[in-house]
Chain A
Amino acid sequence: MKPLILAAALAAAALAAPAAAARDLTVVSWGGAYQDAQRAVYFQPFMQARGIRLLEETWDGGVGVLRAKIQSGANNWDVVQVESEELLVGCEEGLFERIDWARIGGRAAYREDAAHECGVGAIYYSFILAYDRARITGEGPRSWADFWDVQRFPGKRGLRRGPKTNLEIALMADGVPAAQVYPMLRTEAGVERAFRKLDALRPHLVWWTAGSQPPQLLASGEVALTSAYNGRISAANRNDGRNFAIVWTNNLYTIDSWVIMKGSPNLAQAYAFLAFVGQPQAQAQLPPRIPYGVPAIGADALIPAAVKAELPTTEANIATALHIDDAFWLENIDRLTQRFNAWAAR
């Protein structure tokens, strides 16, 4: 009886082992409504059209996660959507494959700022200030300075855990014009000023990590105001019948990219996936579901005008935007993350 059980166990292990050796293409994105939209317009059509099995994973950023994946030798991700400074840091450290543009339609098929040696643009998006009109019925907040006004707008505030975006927001709330934010953050006094401003809001802060959280925090009334990705807020209005408002003033504008993890055993499938999601017809399907800008040349022409008004790339929305400075974060993300964590954990 014993040997039988043992044999069964070994057989089970043997059966399980090949599954490990040849794992499926794993695509990692930001979860929630955004990934729901990607699933509908990218993942499932891709699986059907190309007959390649695709596994999904979600993450909430941090180049350290990618470093840990590569250096532990246990990397199980193939294609990952990363933020701009993660793209630069990871590329410099050799965490990503160099993009072979010939396999995905050539550099010219994408907007110029979307083609990097290690990554291809996925979406343009903005961090915006959001609130629930169902709860703040009178005049709502209009700027990041109002975000700090807990008298007029009582309740908790949601901010993304980490230094990026929050230091900028803090300075703009403190009256620093958008153009002066990064010059000031390059000085010790500027960083100090940003943390002091955050200190003032500390008792009211709730940290979010995943992009799906801000709409939930707003919907449940957990927070009164929050920073959020613009698309998630619009998606909540559209899909869940919410009445959330977006304040575009001084939004923080940036781009996300797809990268292929170094040494991916699914390189061919990864390129097949990137080529598929790089088609203008495919990309034009995304904004109607979640209003983010897309980088494929020719996609914009296919997007309905009504949808365009909600995009961060639209003239009116980008006018007061602060472009997130990748060079600054490349130099400082490690140092400021460390400082931020020590500050937040206190």
Chain B
Amino acid sequence: MSAPRTPLGRLGRVVHWAFTLAVLAFLVAPILAIVPLSFSAGSFLHYPLPGLSLQWYREFFGSPFWIDSVVNSLIIGAGATALATTLGTLAAFGLWLARLPGRGVVVAVLIAPMVVPSVVAAVGLLFAYAPVGLANSHAGMILAHTALAAPFVVVTVSATLSGFDRTLLRAAAACGAGPATAFRRVVLPLIAPGVAAGALFAFAISLDEVVVALFLAGPGQRTLPRQMFAGLNDNLSLAIAAAATILIALSILLMASVGWLRGRAARLAARTGQP
């Protein structure tokens, strides 16, 4: 797009900028609007604030409802992240290593959880997990979230691997390294940022997930989003704004980490002399 030279073109450019900024404001304003409310000294859901207070955070951290849900979210998130990252990284490496027969079917299965609508997945998992005792358990939630998150690990790690120089593997083999050693000593360090980014994605997905939790989790496994859903339905208080603010802070942290890791992955790829 060239710089506009005519007055009309300049006007168009101004309108274009104004529209873009308005849309960007629309994107972030609702999220940012909820943050100051969580520091309100009153209990109204609107501005101006009657004063500043940490009362809603006190309520959040003082209530076993909210605290238990944070602990559950962390347990389930950590378990699902570890499993999804391990399985997903191995699978991505396998897909990269050789072209498998029936690859279309394999890939379809691996990305199925990205495609299946969440309610369908939740109902299906409930019916399958209940008879074997996995409903209403942390283990069941971890397995379910692993399934939902693993495809994102596969995609993220695959993207990193696509920038990886295959000759390095041959070099490692020439030096006498077996495939396992080659993977551990050569491949893994180079794709580590991609793996870490995949792990963060997996954690973010588990942390965000609410529909499967609605169906599969018992009262002992209520996660933070599940608790927020109950709060929005039942008892709309500003403690929800506090919970939301905490989650927004976490999101920013995860987002910044992934951004940083991606930059690192790109630099590492550049150093190995990729085109």
Residues of A at the B interface (CB closer than 8 Å) are 1-2, 5-6, 8-9, 12-13, 16-17, 19-21, 23-24, 26, 31-32, 55-58, 72-74, 76, 209-210, 212-213, 216
- 30 pairs, CB–CB < 8 Å, chain A vs chain B: A1-B188, A8-B82, A9-B142, A12-B82, A13-B138, A13-B142, A16-B75, A16-B137, A16-B142, A17-B138, A17-B139, A19-B138, A20-B133, A20-B138, A20-B139, A20-B220, A23-B136, A23-B220, A26-B218, A26-B220, A31-B235, A32-B235, A56-B219, A72-B130, A73-B130, A73-B131, A74-B129, A74-B135, A76-B135, A210-B233
User: A13 touching B79 by the CB < 8 A rule?
Assistant: yes
Interface stretch (choices B14-22, B83-91, B168-176) = B83-91
Question: Beyond A5-B82, A9-B86, A13-B138: 5 further Cβ-contacts under 8 Å?
Answer: A2-B184, A9-B82, A16-B138, A20-B136, A23-B136
Q: Which residues of chain B are within 8 angstroms of A55 by Cβ–Cβ distance? A: 219-220
Chain B nearest CB, measured from A219 CB (Å):
10
Q: How many cross-chain pairs have Cβ atoms below 8 Å apart between A and B?
A: 93
Closest to A53 in B: B220
A9, A17, A24, A76 pick with most chain B CB within 10 angstroms:
A9
Q: Which residues of chain B are within 8 angstroms of A31 by Cβ–Cβ distance? A: 234-235
Q: Which residues of chain A are within 8 angstroms of B129 by Cβ–Cβ distance? A: 74
Q: Which residues of chain A are within 8 angstroms of B260 by Cβ–Cβ distance? A: none
Interface residues of B in 87-134 (CB under 8 A from A): 89-90, 126-127, 129-131, 133-134
CB-CB under 8 A for A212 and B220, given A5-B85, A17-B139: no
Q: Which residues of chain A are within 8 angstroms of B136 by Cβ–Cβ distance? A: 20, 23, 74, 76
User: A19 touching B82 by the CB < 8 A rule?
Assistant: no
CB-CB under 8 A for A12 and B78, given A5-B86, A212-B234, A212-B235: yes
Chain A nearest CB, measured from B78 CB (Å):
7
Chain B nearest CB, measured from A26 CB (Å):
5
User: B184 touching A1 by the CB < 8 A rule?
Assistant: yes
Chain B nearest CB, measured from A240 CB (Å):
9
Closest to A8 in B: B82
Q: Which residues of chain A are within 8 angstroms of B193 by Cβ–Cβ distance? A: none
5 A-B pairs with the lowest CB-CB distances in the bound complex, closest first: A20-B137, A16-B138, A76-B218, A74-B135, A74-B130
Q: Which residues of chain A are within 8 angstroms of B234 by Cβ–Cβ distance? A: 31-32, 58, 210, 212-213
User: A2 touching B233 by the CB < 8 A rule?
Assistant: no
Residue B11 lies at the interface, judged by CB distance under 8 Å to chain A: no
Binary A-proximity of B63-89 (CB < 8 A = 1, otherwise 0) = 000000000000100110011011001
Q: Which residues of chain A are within 8 angstroms of B75 by Cβ–Cβ distance? A: 12, 16
Q: Which residues of chain A are within 8 angstroms of B198 by Cβ–Cβ distance? A: none
Closest to B138 in A: A16
Chain B nearest CB, measured from A138 CB (Å):
26
Instruction: Give CA–CA (A31, B89) in the complex, Å.
Output: 44
Q: Which residues of chain B are within 8 angstroms of A56 by Cβ–Cβ distance? A: 219
User: A17 touching B127 by the CB < 8 A rule?
Assistant: no
Residue B140 lies at the interface, judged by CB distance under 8 Å to chain A: yes
Q: Which residues of chain B are within 8 angstroms of A58 by Cβ–Cβ distance? A: 230, 234
Q: Which residues of chain B are within 8 angstroms of A16 by Cβ–Cβ distance? A: 75, 79, 137-139, 142
Instruction: Give CA–CA (A106, B137) in the complex, Å.
Output: 36
Residue B54 lies at the interface, judged by CB distance under 8 Å to chain A: no
Binary A-proximity of B152-170 (CB < 8 A = 1, otherwise 0) = 0000000000000000000
Q: A17 touches which one: B137, B188, B219, B236 (CB < 8 A)?
A: B137
Chain A nearest CB, measured from B75 CB (Å):
7
Chain B nearest CB, measured from A229 CB (Å):
14
Q: Which residues of chain B are within 8 angstroms of A73 by Cβ–Cβ distance? A: 130-131, 135
User: A9 touching B83 by the CB < 8 A rule?
Assistant: yes
Chain B nearest CB, measured from A23 CB (Å):
6
Instruction: Give CA–CA (A148, B139) in the complex, Å.
Output: 52
Instruction: Give CA–CA (A1, B185) in the complex, Å.
Output: 11
A6, A20, A73 pick with most chain B CB within 10 angstroms:
A20
Q: Which residues of chain B are within 8 angstroms of A19 by Cβ–Cβ distance? A: 137-138, 220
Binary A-proximity of B219-245 (CB < 8 A = 1, otherwise 0) = 110000000001001111000000000
Q: B90 touches which one: A2, A32, A212 (CB < 8 A)?
A: A2
Instruction: Give CA–CA (A76, B138) in the complex, Å.
Output: 13
Instruction: Give CA–CA (A26, B219) in the complex, Å.
Output: 7
Closest to B45 in A: A220
Chain A nearest CB, measured from B143 CB (Å):
8
Closest to A240 in B: B43
Instruction: Give CA–CA (A17, B136) in the complex, Å.
Output: 10
Instruction: Give CA–CA (A31, B219) in the complex, Å.
Output: 14
Instruction: Give CA–CA (A110, B266) in the complex, Å.
Output: 74
Closest to A28 in B: B219
Instruction: Give CA–CA (A290, B165) in the complex, Å.
Output: 71
User: B86 touching A57 by the CB < 8 A rule?
Assistant: no
Q: Which residues of chain A are within 8 angstroms of B219 by Cβ–Cβ distance? A: 24, 26, 55-57, 76
Closest to A12 in B: B79
Chain A nearest CB, measured from B23 CB (Å):
30
Interface residues of B in 195-215 (CB under 8 A from A): none
Instruction: Give CA–CA (A19, B78) in the complex, Å.
Output: 17
Q: Which residues of chain A are within 8 angstroms of B140 by Cβ–Cβ distance? A: 20
B133, B142, B235 pick with most chain A CB within 10 angstroms:
B235
Q: Which residues of chain B are within 8 angstroms of A57 by Cβ–Cβ distance? A: 219
Chain A nearest CB, measured from B198 CB (Å):
12
Chain A nearest CB, measured from B91 CB (Å):
12
